[in-house]
Amino acid sequence: MLKFKLIIAYDGTAYEGWQVQKIGTGVQEKVEAALARLFRSHPRLHSSSRTDTGVHALGMVAHFEVPPGECPMTPRKLVLAINAWLPEDVRVVSAQRAPAGFHARFSASGKQYRYYIWNHPAMNPLLRHRAWHVPRPLNLAAMRAAAALFVGRHDFQSFAANPGYRVASTVRTLSRCAVVKKGPLLTLIIEGDGFLYKMCRGLAGTLVQAGLGRFPAAEIAEMLNQRDRRVAGMTAPAHGLVLEKVFYNRPKLYAS
């Protein structure tokens, strides 16, 4: 079998997340339908991540396999062929041959998410589907102090939603949690070895509330210790979140 690694970007506004859905449409469904137009074997995609309803991606990684005789195309032509069958809000950015042992999810060593906040009394209409509008002034120093306390190996149960199934562990390692400001646009950059259900949005909502003065940054440590979603900040809206990139062959800071 030939294995191909794809990097996929999409605007998640019109989709019920990445995965194929019983109700609504997932991005995966659109890409698999495009692959079915090109390959008789109707290959199944295996992705690096799941994204929630309304969440976007620039660097979703997925792989698929086809029999050698079905794919005479080069990876460059494969990108063009898949995109010809995709809607405009979904695009394959690149394709390459992958070794037999590669798996989009299990070979990943980490991910980077970015959350965008427009902090101005008037919303930028061009970012209305890309950033959370927070009209009240945010204390950047307070947000950065709170963000620094998330870095390291912690139990993040207080910042994640119940996924509806048993999770083996709620401990994750964040290698970066930064707040970058460029005019009214704030970007939260969150990197880690893995993320719980709605965890990034829980972190973003908590940081914004710290910036609004709802609680001091020092309370983050106690929120982590409580392991109770009710003690942490709100869950930020989905449309501000972007899966920026997935890392491979990158050493982890801490053993799992």
User: Tens digit of pLDDT for each residue in 139-193?
Assistant: 999 999 999 999 999 999 999 998 888 888 999 999 999 999 999 999 999 999 9
Residue-by-residue pLDDT tens, the chain, 256 positions:
899 999 999 999 999 999 877 778 999 999 999 999 999 999 999 999 989 999 999 999 999 999 988 888 899 999 999 999 999 999 999 999 999 999 999 999 999 999 999 999 999 999 999 999 999 999 999 999 999 999 999 999 999 998 888 888 999 999 999 999 999 999 999 999 999 999 999 999 999 999 999 999 999 999 999 999 999 999 999 999 999 999 998 655 443 3
Task: Give me the pLDDT at residue 165, please.
Answer: 83
- CA 35 to chain CA centroid, Å, is 23
Residues in the chain: 256
Task: Give me the pLDDT at residue 79, please.
Answer: 97
The residue among 75, 87, 54 whose CA lies nearest residue 7 is 75
Which contacts (CB < 8 Å, 24+ apart) does range 116-124 have? 116/185, 116/186, 116/187, 116/188, 116/240, 116/242, 117/185, 117/186, 117/187, 117/188, 117/204, 117/208, 117/240, 118/184, 118/185, 118/186, 119/184, 119/185, 119/186, 120/184, 124/184
Residue 176 CB contacts under 8 Å (≥ 6 apart), including other chains = 112, 151, 189, 190, 191, 192
Q: Return the bridge partners of 233, or none.
A: none
* Check whether domain 2-97 has CATH 3.30.70.580, yes or no: yes
Task: Give me the pLDDT at residue 254, please.
Answer: 42
| Intrachain domains 2-97 and 110-248 with the same fold | yes
> Residue 209 is inside which H or E element, if any?
helix 199-211
Token duo for residue 125: 């209409």
Domain ranges of the chain: 2-97, 110-248
**β-strands 171-182, 152-155: how paired?**
antiparallel
Selected catalytic residue, list 11, 52, 193, 228: 52
Question: Per CATH, which fold does 110-248 belong to?
Answer: Alpha-Beta Plaits (3.30.70)
Q: Return the bridge partners of 198, or none.
A: none
Task: Report the C-alpha gap between 30 and 249 in whole angstroms.
Answer: 29
The residue among 77, 88, 16 whose CA lies nearest residue 52 is 16
Token duo for residue 188: 């939260």
**Residue 52 known to be catalytic:** yes
Task: Give me the pLDDT at residue 252, please.
Answer: 53
Give the DSSP letter of residue 124: -
Other C-beta atoms within 10 Å of 29: how many?
A: 17
Task: Report the C-alpha gap between 212 and 93 in whole angstroms.
Answer: 38
Task: Give me the pLDDT at residue 256, please.
Answer: 31
